[in-house]
Amino acid sequence: MNKVYIWQQELWCQLMQSGKFGGYALLLKGRCGIGKFEFARQFAKSLLCKNPSIDRKACGSCPSCGWFEQGGHPNFYQVEPDALSGLSDDVALGLDVEGSASTSSTKLKKKPSQQISVDQIRALNDFINLSGNQDGCKIILIHPAETMNLAAGNALLKKLEEPPPNVLFILVTHRPQHLLPTIRSRCQQMTMPNPDIATATDWLKQQGIKDPDVCLAAAGFAPLSALLFNDSEYIAQHEAFIKQISMPEDLNPIILAEKLQQSDLSAVVSWLQKWCYDLLSFQLTGKIRYHLSRRSAIESLVINMNTKALVTYSRSLISTQQLSHHPLNSRLFLEEVLFAYIFLANKRKGISWTKPLSRRNIPT
C-alpha cells in the first residue's frame, strides 16, 4: 500500500525532481503524528524499486518491493530502539513518535530499551562493507534519530564525516535539537509538512474515524496520532486519566501512580502536558485546544490556579518528559509529578507541602 499521504504529495514531487536531492544523508524533521517515518520508508522503497512509476513511487510488484515489504531487502537496513523492534509503524506514545491504531494495544506497556545504542550503530559496518545487491545503492534508515545516546551519535558522526560510497543515510526525527549539531550539519534537512485541519479531518473520515474533529483536537491536530483515539482501549486509559486529574480534590496520587507504573511514562506525561496547556490557554484566552469536551471542568479548575505557578509547572513537564524514558523508580516518578499537580490545582485553597513530597496530606 502506498502511504505517501495527501499532505506529503508536494514534498514528494519536489524531492523526486532532478537536482532536488543530493548527498549521502537526509534528515526528515517535523512534529510527531504527521507521517515522517512512513514517508521515509516509501522514499527508500522507491529508490530500491526496479520499476518505479512515472512519479517515482515504488511499483509494489517487483522482487525488490517484495523483499522490502517482507523486511528482507539486502540493501536496506533499519535502525531503531528495541522498544520499536517488530512494529510496522511508529509508536505514538512511548518515544513520542508517529503511530497507527493497529499497534495501540501494546503502546502503554513497558518496552525494552528506548534508546539506539552504540552497538547498533557499530553493527552498520557489516552492512556497509558487504557488496550491495546487483550493485545497487544501500539505504540506512535511523528512526527516531533523537533516541541515539551520545556514544551512538558520535559513532554515526564518524560515518558521516567519511561517508561510505553508494550509501544513503535517512534520519527521521521530530526533535532535531536533540541531535548533535555536527550530525545535523552533515545532512540535507527537510521539514515535513503539517496538514491543515480540513485536510486532516477529511483524511480521518476516510479512515472511518468517528468524531474526527474531537479525535484530531485530542491528538494535537496530528492525524496519525488521532487514529489512537478511535481505539477503545487507548480511549479508556486516556479518559480515565483525564477524569481523575480534572478532579484534583479527589485525586489520590499514590493509588493513581501505582495503577500507572506499568504504563508508558512518556505517554502519561504527554497527557498531562496537553491538559496543562488547555488550562493555561483557557485562563489566558478562553480557548481550548485538546480537550474540547472538558470545558466545564477546565473552567472550574483555572479559578483556583495561579497563572505564574501554572506556567512554571508546565515548563517543568518538559524536563519531566525527558526523564520519563529512564526513571529510577516509575511509581515514585509518577507520585512526584501528581503531587506537584495537586499542589498547583489547590494552591489558592491553602494546601501546601514541601519536598520531599509528603503522602500524609493525601487521603487513602
CATH number of the structural domain spanning residue 299? 1.20.272
| Final residue before a domain boundary, out of 174, 191, 208 | 191
**Position 205: which residue type?**
K
Q: Does one domain contain both 282 and 154?
A: no
Residue 136: what pLDDT?
74
CATH number of the structural domain spanning residue 141? 3.40.50.300
CB 168 within 8 A of CB 25: yes
Give tens-digit pLDDT for 287-338: 998 998 899 999 999 988 899 999 999 999 988 987 887 757 889 999 999 9
User: Tell me, what DSSP letter sits at residue 198?
Assistant: H
* Owning domain of residue 281: 231-349
SS3 (DSSP) at 352: coil
Dig out the grid coordinates for 233 from the structure.
Answer: 482501549
171 to each of 78, 151, 204, 216, how far by Cα in Å? Answer: 10, 17, 27, 27
CB 77 within 8 A of CB 251: no
Dig out the grid coordinates for 13 from the structure.
Answer: 514531487
Q: Does one domain contain both 175 and 247?
A: no
Per-residue pLDDT at 169 exceeds 80: yes
Residue 205 covered by a domain: no
- Strands laid side by side in the 76-79 sheet: 76-79, 138-142, 167-173, 25-29, 188-191
Give tens-digit pLDDT for 338-364: 999 998 887 654 444 344 443 433 333
Residue 361: what pLDDT?
38
Rounded to an integer, the average pLDDT of 32-45 is 93
Residue by residue, DSSP assigns 262-297 as TS-HHHHHHHHHHHHHHHHHHHHHS--SS-GGGHHH
Rounded to an integer, the average pLDDT of 233-244 is 87
Q: Which of 63-72, 74-83, 267-276, 322-331 has the lowest mean pLDDT?
A: 322-331
- How many domains in the chain? 2
Report how far Cα 240 is from the mean position of its chain's Cα atoms: 22
CA distance linking residue 39 with residue 8, whole number of Å = 8
Give exposure, 299-329, as e/b (b: 16+ Cβ within 10 Å): eebbeebeeeebeebbeebeebbeebbeeee
CA distance linking residue 245 with residue 17, whole number of Å = 50
> If you average pLDDT over every residue of the chain, what do you get?
83
Residue 217: what pLDDT?
85
Residue 106: what pLDDT?
40
Residue 240 covered by a domain: yes
| Final residue before a domain boundary, out of 136, 163, 191 | 191
Q: Does one domain contain both 235 and 182?
A: no
CA distance linking residue 256 with residue 249, whole number of Å = 14
SS3 (DSSP) at 140: strand
Per-residue pLDDT at 91 exceeds 70: no
| Final residue before a domain boundary, out of 191, 217, 241 | 191
Band (100; pLDDT cuts 50, 70, 90): very low
pLDDT: which is higher, 255 or 19: 255
Q: Does one domain contain both 187 and 288?
A: no
Residue 219: what pLDDT?
84
**Position 66: which residue type?**
G
Kindly provide the residue ranges of all beta strands, DSSP E only, lying in the chain, ordered along the sequence. Answer: 25-29, 76-79, 138-142, 167-173, 188-191
Residue 22: what pLDDT?
63
